[in-house]
Amino acid sequence: MSPIMPEVKAVPNVSSGGAEPLPAGTDVPSTAVLSTRDLNVWYGISLALRDITIAIPRNQITALIGPSGCGKSTLLRCFNRMNDLIPSARMTGEITFEGLDLNSAETDPVSLRRRIGMVFQKPNPFPKSIYQNVAWGARINGYRGDMDELVERSLRRAALWDEVKDKLNKSGLDLSGGQQQRLCIARTLAVDPEVILMDEPCSALDPISTARVEDLMDDLKSEYTIVIVTHNMQQARRTSDMTACLMLDDGAQHGHRTGIIAEFSPTDRLFTNPKDPRTEAYITGRIG
C-alpha cells in the first residue's frame, strides 16, 4: 500500500503478525518492550511519519532526536495512544507492546496509559496539593494499599521527597519548575508503569534541575523502560543507551516533508560513528 494516503479511517485493528526481519541496517536489541513496524501516521492528508520500524529495548533509555517537526512527539504519542485524542490523526502499520497489538479494539487506552506513562515538556501538576498530585492516578486506578506509603515511595523515587516532605499539603503549583517536573514524574511512577515516555522533559528546566532529572532517569531504568525526546544532543549522549535519529524527508509528498528514521543505533556509536550521512549532518549541527 502506498504510504501517501491513509486507507484506514480510524485507528486500525492491525494484526501484530509474525516477526519479520527488520530492514537492513536497523540495529535493534532483542528484548523489545515496544515495537513498531511500517508505521505511517497522518494528520488529515499530511503524512507526518513514514515507514517507522523501531524496537524499544527493555530497561534501557532510548532517545529520539531530530529536527523540529520530524515527528518525535507524534511517535511518542503513538506509543500510548495519545494520538487517539487528535481527531485528524490516522495511522497504519503495527505497534506491539509486550507482544500484544497496541491498537487492537481489545486494548483499553486508559489501562494502556497506566502501563505506559507520559511526562510532558511543560510540567503540568494539577492545582492540588503535592500529596494529591501523587495519589490521584493511584486513586482513580482503585489503589487499595497504604496511600501515605505510596506517596512517600513515589516522591523518593522521583528524588523529591526530602524537598517536600514537610509541605505535602501545599499546592503542587507552588513548587519550582524543576520540582514540578519531578512531581509529575512521581505522579507517573505512583501508578507503577512499565514504560515512561518523556517529551523534552528538561527543556523548561535550569541545568541543576536537568541534572537531577537525568540522574533520576539513570536510577529508574533498572525498573522501567524510558523513551525520551530531546533537542539536547548532550542529554541524549549522557542519558541514553540507544538513539533514533529522525529526519525530514521531502521525497514522499510534494511540498510536504515527512518524518522518517534515518538511523537507530547504540548511542555511543551514533554519536561517534554515525552510519547515515544525515545523522552526521544533524549531530554536527549542519542540518536541523
Q: Which residues bind Mg ion (CB under 5 A)?
A: 73
Binding-site partner at residue 88 among ligand ATP, Mg ion, none, CB < 5 to 8 Å by type: ligand ATP
Q: Which is nearer to ligand ATP, 168 or 262 (CB)?
A: 262
- Nearer residue to ligand ATP within complex by CB, 123 or 137: 123
The 81-100 contact track toward ligand ATP, x by CB under 6 A, reads -----x-x------------
Backbone angle region of 169, left / alpha / beta, with phi > 0 → left and psi within -120 to 50 → alpha: alpha
Q: Is residue 255 part of the contact set for ligand ATP (CB under 6 A)? A: no
What does the alpha-carbon distance between residue 130 and residue 170 come to, in Å, rounded to a whole number?
A: 6
Count of residues of this chain found to bind ligand ATP when the rule CB under 6 A is applied:
11
Question: What does the CA dihedral 282, 215, 204, 109 come to, rounded to 10 degrees?
Answer: 90
Beta-strand relationship, 242-253 and 61-65: parallel
- Which window, 25-33, 64-72, 91-99, 137-145, contacts ligand ATP (CB under 6 A)? 64-72
Shortest Å distance, C-beta 237 to ligand ATP:
18
- 86 makes contact, choosing from ligand ATP, Mg ion, none, with CB < 5 to 8 Å by partner type, with ligand ATP
Q: Is 166 within 8 Å of 175 (Cβ atoms)?
A: no
Pairing label, strands 46-57, 61-65: unpaired
The pairing of beta strand 32-43 with beta strand 195-199? unpaired
Binding region for ligand ATP (CB under 6 A) = 43, 48, 68-74, 86, 88
